[in-house]
Amino acid sequence: MMENRQRYRKKHASHQDRFMREQMRHLVTQMLWKRLILIVSQLKPTRTPTQQKHGMLQNTCVLNKLENLKKLTKLADKQSEKIDLLQKRVGHYSLKNINKRDETAQKNLQLLRDAQRLARKKTRDLEFVKQKFSVQREQNEELGKNISKIQCDIQCMADRLGTEVAKKVSTQKSNSKLRQQLKRLRQIQAEWTNGPVPGLTDENEHLRQQLVTLTNKIQESDILINNHYFEIDELKDKLSDESTNTTKLEDGSFSDNMRLCVIQLSGLEVATEKN
């Protein structure tokens, strides 16, 4: 609605300007014609040569005045064009147009400030996101290093556990042999206490010394076995503390380290309980 009114006002103003220019041109033309008629009316008919000569001079004056009239007409047209140009300039610098341009400039300035404010805000947000991304990337790299270190520690502990298990198995085997020998010697000792054994009376002292030696070895083996059990328990506790949720994955399957440990135990012929 406002746009239609503005268009109507502009059109009406242009019609008024055109009407004023036409009126001014008409007035200038009327003034020039009146002046020409006045000049012609002042001329009188000539009969004598002197009068004819005087009339020719008057005609020359009339022609000169006509030329001047044409010049004045052209000058009037130029002045009319200048007036049109000045009216356009006045219309351009009119109070209404100036106010309208000021309002448009104010709106554009406000839009520019809003755009600059939004750009600064987006720039700050982008810098914050970049810093956050950089911190997260550094944290991820640090976590990757920690995971690699933990995996190496777990592998070392698994190797140590396999070695300790092998030592335990070897100790159990040697302990079993020593127990069998001890059992046999105890049987021989019981037979000695019940009565003399033919063919062994001369070797009694040697067998007793051997029995004492084997008994000491068995005691030392028991101590070593207990120490190995204690070290294995410590390694298991340390492994369980440092590698949380490493025996099973999220889907419930066993981890690679657990499978490797079972394979090593199977290679050492150690029985494992299946859960």
Domain carrying residue 195 = 149-267
Rounded CA gap, 18 and 91, in Å? 13
From 93, 109, 126, the end of a domain falls on 93
CA-wise closest residue to 17 among 66, 84, 74, 97: 84
Give the pLDDT confidence score for residue 112 in this predicted structure: 92
Residue 247: name the closest of 235, 261, 229 by CA: 261
- How far apart, in whole angstroms, are the C-alpha atoms of residue 24 and residue 78? 12
Domain count for the chain, please give it.
Answer: 2
Residue 87 and residue 159 in one domain: no
pTM to 2 decimal places:
0.32
113 falls within a domain: no
| Token duo for residue 260 | 């490797």
Local mean pLDDT, 10-residue blocks, the chain (275 residues)? 50 59 71 69 54 60 75 79 72 63 84 92 91 87 84 84 81 79 73 52 62 75 76 72 58 69 64 52
Instruction: State the pLDDT at residue 93.
Output: 56
Residues 177 and 86 in one domain: no
* Final residue of a structural domain among 63, 93, 123: 93
**Statement to judge: residues 161 and 245 lie in one domain:** yes
Q: Is residue 122 part of a domain?
A: no
99 domain-assigned: no
Name the H helices within 93-194.
95-194
* CB atoms closer than 10 angstroms to residue 239: 19
- The answer to whether the beta carbons of residues 229 and 165 sit under 8 Å apart is no
Q: Which amino acid is it at 23?
A: Q
- Bridge partners (DSSP) listed for residue 248: 254
**Residues 150, 242: contact at Cβ < 8 Å?**
yes
Inside any domain, residue 111: no
Do the domain assignments include residue 105? no
- Domain final residue pick, 93, 116, 138: 93
Question: Residue 56: how many CB atoms within 10 A of its CB?
Answer: 11
Q: Is 81 found in the same domain as 172?
A: no
Judge whether 114 lies within some domain: no
- Domain-located, residue 56: yes
**CA distances, 174 to each of 178, 188, 210 (Å):** 6, 21, 17
Of the candidates 118, 32, 38, 33, the one whose C-alpha atom is nearest the C-alpha of residue 76 is 32
Classify residue 261 as exposed, middle or buried by CB count within 10 Å of its CB (0-12, 13-18, 19+): buried
109 backbone φψ class: left, alpha, beta (φ>0; ψ -120 to 50): alpha
- My answer on whether 72 and 154 are in the same domain is no
Report the pLDDT value the prediction gives residue 46, as an integer from 0 to 100. Answer: 46
- Residue 268, pLDDT score: 61
Is 75 domain-assigned? yes
